[in-house]
Amino acid sequence: MIQVQTSAAMAALRAMESVVGARHVFSTDEDRRDYSDHFAPDEMERLHEPSGAVAPATVEEIQAIVRIANENKVPLWPISRGKNFGYGGPAPVLKGSIVLDLSRMKKIEVDPAGGTVLVEPGVSFFDLYDYRQQRNLPFWISVPGNSWGSVAGNALDRGVGYTPYGDHAARICGLEVVLPDGDIVRTGMGAISQGPTWQLYKTGFGPGWDTMFCQSNLGIVTKLGLWLMPEPEAVLGLNIDADKPEDLKWLVDVLGPLRKAGILQQSPSIGNWLRAAATMTTRQEWAEPGNPLSDAAVQAIRDKFQIGWWGVALRVYGPLEIAEPTLGLIRKAFDKQPVWKMAETRWVRGDPPEGSPATGVPVTYPLANANWFGGRGGHISFSPVLPVDGDLALRYFRRNSELHAQFGFDYHPSFAIQDRSMNNINQLLFDQDNPQMVENLDKLFRTLVREAAADGYAEYRTHVGYMDVVADTFDFNNHALRRLNERVKDALDPNGILAPGKSGIWPASARGGRP
């Protein structure tokens, strides 16, 4: 493992002051803490503490910063708004890296004819939502469950939302990127110096590079094109609750084919009672600290908040002429199932905003779940990708429930049904002030990764503290994928100045003899 020399990092930060002005360089102890991951255990936070941060406002400033990083051989960790909570927030993989904070870059360019937007990294979901509202644009954005972050950073880290445009990385169309040597490239049709099709056609001519800059450390994205969803005439929905843990099987088996056939256009996420409850109450109201939550306590929570053991929100978007019969078809698919509760939702253009991520409205309340255990709340996510299969979901749910209980955690799973896969996103909630829990967190996380890998399943995204652990599970042909990633890394970033360790990709100097 390489170490960042503090003296080199400080020299680089001082040199960066002449580029952006001293007030946009942050290098006090307090600044370092600000740019750490406040949802990670203290020890982990220190392991990923940056040397400081620099916040440029222009592409030219970024190029100058990249030059300084190369001269001083000091790594930069680019963030857009740094709200990647559960996965590290603003914190780098490699301690001592300088956070390149792009949150001052806030330009928004909408093409109303094309239904697209070009955002700079600092544009938050709230910024884009406000922009849309102020101009009454007939387009919706897709926002993640906790929408504090940036449009660009979330798409680049393959975040997800709840509308038909919820696969954010899939809606990227054209990037502007500063490469580790300071060169600027525009991908796809943006490679033409002048032209209107950059945000309209994804791949351009020859190889397509947009995905190469997602979850990678090969470039600093300074502009990101995204398709916007034309505002539908109506959003009709069913909120379905199921009463028993084993109901997960039929929920998955009913929803999978509807999603695969495109009858369901969005990816519904089946969450357990804790996902719903953890934003509304805390554990200490229901159990003594350190004691397991009894079935009676779970039932009491469910009774109080009127929630199922599982709950899922289904939404259909489009003209009423299509949405109404489609919803009828979906409702019929549940006819023979022991649904506990089914409630219809209806929004038609002209109604007041429905106010949830299902209609592209950003929210932050889900982050309240970090308070579940009390103390200073923390959370990290374990997110394996599985085939869409009810039996498998149930088996996984049962085994992971047991593992959580064994290590003293409450299980907070969700299963998002995507076109062809199921993302099992599990929030590992914990109390940072409980040392036993912090110790067990690491053990639980590693056990979950190991057991999933033994069955051939791996994570789609992970916390900065576990990027190597997860990358290790992609082991086909002696980790050929990592070898490819690192060959590209060496070619583009010979000094290893950009986000070393991101997604388990290290520069040659840090591989410790690994090929």
**Site for ligand ADP contains 221 (CB under 6 A):** yes
327: three-class secondary structure by DSSP: helix
Say which residue the tokens 């904070």 belong to: 101
Residue 460 to residue 228: CA distance in whole angstroms: 24
Query: For ligand ADP, which residue of 242, 502, 505, 507 counts as binding (CB under 6 A)?
Result: 502
Listed in sequence order, the DSSP H helices in 145-240 are 151-156
Residue 223 CB, nearest distance to ligand ADP (Å)? 9
Single-letter amino acid, residue 34: D
Residue 127 CB, nearest distance to ligand ADP (Å)? 11
**Site for ligand ADP contains 121 (CB under 6 A):** yes
Concerning whether 460 is annotated as a catalytic residue, the answer is yes
Residue pair 505/98 in contact (Cβ under 8 Å)? The answer is no
**Site for ligand ADP contains 366 (CB under 6 A):** no
Residue 390 to residue 255: CA distance in whole angstroms: 10
> Which part of the chain contacts ligand ADP (CB under 6 A), choosing from 134-142, 152-160, 369-377, 449-457?
152-160
Size of the site for ligand ADP (CB under 6 A): 21
**Site for ligand ADP contains 180 (CB under 6 A):** no
Nearest CB to ligand ADP, comparing residues 157 and 486: 157
Residue 163 to residue 75: CA distance in whole angstroms: 37
**Site for ligand ADP contains 142 (CB under 6 A):** no
379: three-class secondary structure by DSSP: strand
> Which part of the chain contacts ligand ADP (CB under 6 A), choosing from 57-65, 75-83, 106-114, 195-203?
75-83
Residue 10 to residue 329: CA distance in whole angstroms: 62
Given 186, 461, 466, 482, which residue is catalytic? 461
**Site for ligand ADP contains 50 (CB under 6 A):** no
Q: Is the dihedral of CA 351, 353, 359, 360 positive or negative?
A: positive
> Which part of the chain contacts ligand ADP (CB under 6 A), choosing from 24-32, 83-91, 426-434, 466-474?
83-91
Residue 515 to residue 512: CA distance in whole angstroms: 9
**Site for ligand ADP contains 83 (CB under 6 A):** yes
Q: How many helices (H) and strands (E) does the chain have?
A: 14, 19
150 DSSP assignment: B
Residue 453 CB, nearest distance to ligand ADP (Å)? 23
Query: For ligand ADP, which residue of 52, 75, 82, 357 counts as binding (CB under 6 A)?
Result: 82
> Which part of the chain contacts ligand ADP (CB under 6 A), choosing from 10-18, 77-85, 264-272, 376-384?
77-85
**Site for ligand ADP contains 225 (CB under 6 A):** no
Given 87, 129, 165, 466, which residue is catalytic? 87
Residue 168 CB, nearest distance to ligand ADP (Å)? 10
164: three-class secondary structure by DSSP: coil
Residue pair 15/81 in contact (Cβ under 8 Å)? The answer is no
Nearest CB to ligand ADP, comparing residues 256 and 378: 378
What residues does 220 pair with on adjacent strands?
Answer: 178
Residue 111 CB, nearest distance to ligand ADP (Å)? 21
Query: For ligand ADP, which residue of 102, 278, 330, 452 counts as binding (CB under 6 A)?
Result: 102
Residue 62 to residue 16: CA distance in whole angstroms: 10
> Which part of the chain contacts ligand ADP (CB under 6 A), choosing from 82-90, 161-169, 225-233, 287-295?
82-90
**Site for ligand ADP contains 189 (CB under 6 A):** no
Nearest CB to ligand ADP, comparing residues 411 and 506: 506
Say which residue the tokens 């299509």 belong to: 322
**Site for ligand ADP contains 72 (CB under 6 A):** no
Query: For ligand ADP, which residue of 150, 326, 383, 426 counts as binding (CB under 6 A)?
Result: 150
> Which part of the chain contacts ligand ADP (CB under 6 A), choosing from 79-87, 252-260, 278-286, 394-402?
79-87
Residue 245 to residue 417: CA distance in whole angstroms: 17
Cα–Cα distance list, 230 to 124, 241, 260, 267, 360 (Å): 20, 30, 22, 18, 11
Single-letter amino acid, residue 190: G
Residue pair 225/198 in contact (Cβ under 8 Å)? The answer is yes
**Site for ligand ADP contains 98 (CB under 6 A):** no
Concerning whether 87 is annotated as a catalytic residue, the answer is yes
Angle, helix 6-20 to helix 59-72, in steps of 10 degrees: 160
Please provide residue 109's backbone torsions phi and psi, each rounded to the nearest 5 degrees.
-125, 115
The C-alpha angle 458, 464, 470, rounded to 5 degrees, equals 20
Nearest CB to ligand ADP, comparing residues 62 and 327: 62
Query: For ligand ADP, which residue of 41, 75, 78, 378 counts as binding (CB under 6 A)?
Result: 78
Among 390, 353, 384, 511, residue whose Cα is nearest residue 458: 384
Query: For ligand ADP, which residue of 80, 163, 440, 462 counts as binding (CB under 6 A)?
Result: 80
Nearest CB to ligand ADP, comparing residues 190 and 256: 190
Residue 82 CB, nearest distance to ligand ADP (Å)? 4
**Site for ligand ADP contains 54 (CB under 6 A):** no
Residue pair 122/224 in contact (Cβ under 8 Å)? The answer is no
The secondary structure of 269-285, three-state, reads EEEEHHHHHCCCCCHHH
Residue 373 CB, nearest distance to ligand ADP (Å)? 23
Residue 206 to residue 208: CA distance in whole angstroms: 6
**Catalytic residue numbers, as ranges:** 87, 460-461
Would you tell me which residues interact with ligand ADP (CB under 6 A)?
78-84, 90, 102, 121, 149-150, 152-154, 156-157, 220-221, 499, 502
